[in-house]
Amino acid sequence: MELLELRTRIRNELEREKNGKEEEPGVGGNIETWQHWMRGLTCYGSPGTGAGPAALPQRAGIGITIPALCASLPLPPSSRSFLSLLVKLRDIMSAQKSDFRLRPLTLEELQQPAENIPDDYKDWKIHDFEAGFALGSGRFGRVFLVRETKTELNFLLAMKVLFKAQLSKYNMEHQLRREIEIHQRVKHPNIVRLFTWINHTDKIFLLLEYAPGGDMYTHLSKLRRFTERRTATYVWQISDALSYCHSKGVIHRDIKPENILIGARGQALLADFGWAAQ
């Protein structure tokens, strides 16, 4: 699509949204009006470089069409949702480090519920996954979007790659074992699912539920505040998740917006059990 044509359509769409009715923020908000021309756009990503990503399959990874991306995010109302989507597109495109074209994801792939993943996930091996772009990084490793290739379902997951050398340096091996033991015990619609983990020569791979909406802190930073309805929904969901954890004898001990993710249907997901106790 030519840049001039793209700019013209963006300007026209903003005018239509300006004259339209605001919608309550939620999954897929303000998507249908411009889905017809965004369907063809594709983002690019990279499995990354360095010791961690080198252990992942170096095949063409995972792309994501813009309609699928925006339909998976709880967007703010009116034209701000459109502008925030363009910012997201710009950020992903600027992070490109590879020249291969990535296959777009469908909306159905993004919205596969975690509970539909078959029970044979405990038999997963590292070569059962196709690596996509990096979702984030931390002191001990990085997180990648990956696609399961063992079955025809091709589920999307978040793969957390932890380097054993870093864990040993900071004496975090015991904490990681505790995190895995606790996280695998809790299964709740508003808790990020830890399916299994893989022990590699110099790395530990954690296979987690993928949350396309990112973390709550990012959304809160952009919007400054949520609507009462949205706030009440999040509070109810996280409270229910914490009540469930307490019934299992688990205390999270690190509740903050950075550790709450937004799922494919706009639901809040409690994550990061690194400081949890039981």
Domain of residue 146, CATH code: 3.30.200.20
- 131-159 per-residue burial string, b: 16 or more CB within 10 A, e: under 16: bbbbbeeeebbbbbbbbbebeeeebbbbb
Whether residue 158 is annotated as binding a ligand: the answer is no
Return the DSSP state at 59: S
Give the separation between CA 9 and CA 46, rounded to whole angstroms: 29
Q: 70 or 249: whose pLDDT is higher?
A: 249
Whether residue 139 is annotated as binding a ligand: the answer is yes
Whether residue 160 is annotated as binding a ligand: the answer is yes
Q: What is the mean pLDDT of the chain?
A: 71
For residue 130, the model assigns a pLDDT of 87
Q: Is 183 a domain residue?
A: yes
Among the residue ranges 27-31, 170-174, 237-241, the one predicted with the least confidence is 27-31
Q: How many CA atoms lie within 13 A of 7 on its CB side?
A: 3
Q: How many CB atoms lie within 10 A of CB 46?
A: 19
Q: Is 243 a domain residue?
A: no
9 — pLDDT class (breaks 50, 70, 90): low
Whether residue 2 is annotated as binding a ligand: the answer is no
pLDDT in tens, 210-262: 999 999 999 999 999 999 999 999 999 999 999 999 999 999 999 999 999 99
Q: How many CB atoms lie within 10 A of CB 189?
A: 17
pTM of the model: 0.60
Give the separation between CA 94 and CA 43, rounded to whole angstroms: 10
133 — pLDDT class (breaks 50, 70, 90): confident
Domains in the chain, number:
1
For residue 30, the model assigns a pLDDT of 33
Whether residue 210 is annotated as binding a ligand: the answer is yes
Among the residue ranges 35-39, 104-108, 231-235, 268-272, the one predicted with the least confidence is 35-39
Q: Is 112 a domain residue?
A: yes
For residue 21, the model assigns a pLDDT of 44
Nearest to 53 by CA among 164, 162, 199, 207: 162
For residue 197, the model assigns a pLDDT of 92
pLDDT of 40 > 90? The answer is: no
Q: 252 or 18: whose pLDDT is higher?
A: 252
pLDDT of 204 > 70? The answer is: yes
Average pLDDT over residues 36-55: 31
Q: Is 205 a domain residue?
A: yes
| Catalytic site residue from 119, 202, 240, 254 | 254
Whether residue 23 is annotated as binding a ligand: the answer is no
Average pLDDT over residues 77-88: 48
**What is each CA distance from 65 to 92, 136, 216, 260, in whole angstroms?**
12, 20, 22, 25
For residue 111, the model assigns a pLDDT of 52
Q: Is 110 a domain residue?
A: yes
Share of the chain above pLDDT 70, in %: 56
Nearest to 183 by CA among 207, 158, 211, 166: 207
205: left (phi over 0), alpha (psi -120 to 50) or beta: beta
37 — pLDDT class (breaks 50, 70, 90): very low
Share of the chain above pLDDT 90, in %: 40
Q: Is 266 a domain residue?
A: no
Give the separation between CA 83 and CA 25, rounded to whole angstroms: 14
Give the separation between CA 195 and CA 228, rounded to whole angstroms: 33
Q: Is 274 a domain residue?
A: no
pLDDT in tens, 90-108: 555 444 433 323 444 455 5
**What is each CA distance from 140 to 50, 171, 254, 269, in whole angstroms?**
13, 11, 18, 22
In the chain, DSSP finds a helix count (H) and a strand count (E) of 10, 9
Find out whether 38 and 13 touch, Cβ atoms under 8 Å. no
Is-catalytic flag, 128?
no
Burial of 43 (0-12, 13-18, 19+ CB in 10 A): buried
Q: 219 or 113: whose pLDDT is higher?
A: 219
Range(s) of the domain holding residue 131: 101-209
Q: Is 92 a domain residue?
A: no
